[in-house]
Amino acid sequence: MQSIDHHFLDDYACRNALREIDARIKLILGLGGILIAISADTPYAPLFVGLTLSCTTVFLAKIPIRLYLALLMIPASFALMSVVVILFLTGGGDPILTITLPWFSLAATTDAALYATLILTRAIGGTCGLLFIALTTPMIELFSILRSLRLPAEFIDLAMLLYRSIFVIIGEAVAIYNAQVMRNGYSSFRQGIVAISMLASSLFIRAWDRGEDLLSAMDARCYDGKFEILEPTGAITASQIIPVIIFLSLSGILVLLPIPFPL
């Protein structure tokens, strides 16, 4: 298992080819694509959003395609498992596939296939929008946008601490897990249960200690209850906003057009 730290996504976000594009533009593009993808009634708009944002992330932002596909397959695999359940448990329409088992039969219908396809495309389109934001926009810029929107400072500071703490805890869990594997901690089911319980208890203690260390470091730097973040000051240019408007308009048109989806 590979070590994970909180710089993993930010490294790519800071080095991508779209780094100089205003973060507000990228946020509007990503969030707009997500909202359109998850609200569409046909698969056309989510597919268009997913394909466009994927090409933008890989070919314009120069994110390695292997990394992008690896990140995309994690949520896509969960969505695919859910789609299989929906396919056989949602009725309506004509049967297109029947699986006969000793005790019962499972049937997939045209309406179920359409609904499962819609759910899968929604999940992929929304995920592509989220990955576009994560891989092209550093988190500190997202926090600065939140600050410029005049959200409560306590909310933003808590979000920053949680974001860092999540990856710190993951790193600690990976280190403990690797140490247990090297000592054959998961060689049997019984030993695996014991190892998992020890990992959970050790992780709680390590997380508490890291929190205390963070608090001491903040106090040593005269933390007064508020993190200072520079708000975005640059102006949004027409050359940046016009392609975004065109993309969102085309996506919205695909949502509104009453085009039937053939099966």
User: Residue 122's domain spans which residues?
Assistant: 1-137+233-263
Judge if 31 and 117 occupy the same domain.
yes
Judge if 133 and 47 occupy the same domain.
yes
Judge if 221 and 237 occupy the same domain.
no
Judge if 6 and 103 occupy the same domain.
yes
Angle between helices 23-39 and 238-256 (to 10 degrees): 0
> Smallest Cα–Cα separation from 226: which of 175, 171, 155?
155
C-beta of residue 251 within 8 angstroms of C-beta of residue 41: no
Judge if 90 and 25 occupy the same domain.
yes
Judge if 9 and 82 occupy the same domain.
yes
Q: Which residue has the higher pLDDT, 40 or 151?
A: 40
> Smallest Cα–Cα separation from 95: which of 112, 119, 120, 117?
112
Judge if 240 and 191 occupy the same domain.
no
Within-domain flag for 214: yes
Within-domain flag for 143: no
With bands split at pLDDT 50, 70 and 90, how would you rate the model's confidence at 223?
confident
Q: How many domains does the chain have?
A: 2
Within-domain flag for 144: no
The chain-wide mean pLDDT, for the chain, equals 85
Amino acid identity of residue 101, one-letter, is: L
Within-domain flag for 145: no
Helix, strand, coil percentages for the chain (3-state, nearest 5): 70, 5, 25
For residue 95, the model assigns a pLDDT of 74
For residue 27, the model assigns a pLDDT of 93
pTM over 0.85: no
